[in-house]
Amino acid sequence: MRFGSQKLAVGYALVLVLCLFPFFSASGALAVGILFSLLGWRLPSFSRYAAFILQASIVLMGFGMQVAEVLEASQTGLISTAVSVVLVMAAGYVLARCLKVEGTTGLLIASGTAICGGSAIAAVAPLVRARNEQTSFALVVVFVLNALALFLFPWLGHLFQLSETSFGWWAALAIHDTSSVVGAGAVYGPQALEVATTTKLVRALWILPLSLVLSLVYGRGKKGRLSVPWFIFLFAGSIGMVWLFPSAAPVYSVLGALGKRGMVMALFLIGSGLSFKEARKAGWRSFAMGVLLWLLVGSVALLVLKYSAV
């Protein structure tokens, strides 16, 4: 079914407005975008703004991070999440090589698994010059596994008789997106919710150092000059403002919420620009990599927590 560009522009605008409402989820926006692409409803004049909206959303989301409270509530979280991020990125590299997964797609999946799902992929994608189909495929893998974790983890936690504290740590280290970490923690118990939320937010802060490292590795332009990821420095600045000027908390809350809705809008635009010819090249290997990496992270974290004093 084909529409004229004017009608299609109205359709895009309506979906973008829906993205501003809480009931329209990030995974739902991506699914609608992919549906548009399947139906041939593409509008490059809209899709070209996806990268800018992604970067602006990352900056705004920094206002939603309560750094002082997170660090105070999770004394050892910084070290444990650092070890987790490094090990997951290393394991992702090995799995991508073994399964012969295309490099950029593998890096995006590993980044989303290591840190905070869609947000990490959104931050990393422009730095490594990922194409829309690479970003979309990585997001699909992460969102599918994230949805499974929300229902699977509480059941497994009870099966293995984890304490609320242990479950909170496990959920924070092994579930991709913050929303599902919070959801799983809430189902398991109030202490699990507190531990999961604080540890997950500390883990999310590793977007910043990972982005800076990747900008150094991938940031050389055609003339050999370093491409500076300014939006990452603005992201750090927004976090710093929350820390230094806590009296403006109501404003930060609004800005953080705008960042989350902006991320939803960007995911719709990314999905609508998906090339299925290119996505097929990723094939089952990329999805297998995402599943294996997720199972590895969850299993190792569970074993460590099960037999530790946590």
pLDDT digits (tens, 9 = 90+) for 146-158: 778 877 898 998 8
Q: In the predicted model, is pLDDT for residue 6 greater than 60?
A: yes
Q: How confident is the model at residue 274, as a pLDDT?
A: 66
Q: Quote the pTM value.
A: 0.68
Residue with tokens 């002082």: 68
List Cβ neighbours of 177 (8 Å cut-off, separation of 6 or more): 26, 116, 117, 118, 119, 142, 143, 146
Which residues on adjacent β-strands are paired with residue 225?
Answer: none
Candidates 57, 310, 28; CA nearest to 171 is 310
Top-confidence residue, 223 or 188: 188
Q: Dihedral through CA 261, CA 264, CA 269, CA 270, nearest 10? A: 140
Rounded to whole angstroms, the Cα distance separating 239 from 35 reads 35
State pLDDT tens for residues 105-160: 889 999 988 887 777 887 788 888 888 778 878 887 887 787 788 778 989 988 88
Average pLDDT for residues 251-257, to the nearest whole number? Answer: 88
Helices and strands (DSSP H and E) totals, the chain: 16, 0
Rounded to whole angstroms, the Cα distance separating 265 from 285 reads 28
- CA distances to 84, 165, 181 from 204, rounded to whole Å, are 12, 19, 12
Domain ranges of the chain: 5-306
Average pLDDT for residues 165-188, to the nearest whole number? Answer: 82
Burial of 6 (0-12, 13-18, 19+ CB in 10 A): exposed
Q: How confident is the model at residue 281, as a pLDDT?
A: 60
Split at pLDDT 50, 70, 90, the class of 225 is very low
